[in-house]
Amino acid sequence: MEKLSVKTSRREEMVNLTGEVQRLAADRGWFEGLLYLWCPHTTAALTVNEAADPDVVRDMVTNLAKLVPHRGDYRHAEGNSDAHIKSSLTGPGLTLIVADGRIQLGTWQGVFFCEWDGPRSRQVWATFLASR
């Protein structure tokens, strides 16, 4: 297992990890198989979405904040209930196809770390599953 470090600078943001994830795959050479990414934090997540237009990330963060506001009818005492909900909506894990040592993404797709309770220092765990 490998670990990627992610340092976030805002309470809510999406950090593009595509380059770092591609480097993980490239370090395996002509690897064929799957790359599994896992976010071990209950108030952060991972997703694949458009990476070409930064307005998509802005729209995601802004509208998730409207859908699940920071202050609401929550009982969890830590003041970050919205982050737990957003993390469940976006999800903790991704499975990516790797061919010829590159993660296979659509033309506009990128891999994002979703911070919902920052700023913090976080990790993403990565493991490879080889095809036969």
Give pLDDT tens digits for 73-85.
999 989 999 999 9
Name the residue range of residue 54's domain.
Answer: 2-130
Rounded distance, CA 119 to CA 6, Å?
10
- Please state, rounded to an integer, the average pLDDT across all residues of the chain: 96
Reading phi first (left if > 0) and then psi (alpha if -120 to 50, else beta), residue 83 is in: alpha
Range from 8-17, 72-81, 91-100, 106-115 carrying the lowest mean pLDDT: 72-81
Percent with pLDDT over 90 in the chain: 93
Using the predicted structure, report yes or no on whether residue 46 has a pLDDT greater than 70.
yes
Position 96 confidence tier, pLDDT thresholds 50, 70, 90: very high
What is the model's pLDDT at position 29? Answer: 85
What is the model's pLDDT at position 109? Answer: 98
Rounded distance, CA 123 to CA 90, Å?
16
User: Taking the model in full, what pTM does it have?
Assistant: 0.95
Number of domains forming the structure of the chain:
1
Q: Residue 80: which CATH number?
A: 2.60.120.460
Percent with pLDDT over 70 in the chain: 99
Rounded distance, CA 112 to CA 50, Å?
9
Position 132 confidence tier, pLDDT thresholds 50, 70, 90: low
Rounded distance, CA 16 to CA 119, Å?
16
Residue 42: phi and psi, rounded to 5, are -80, -10
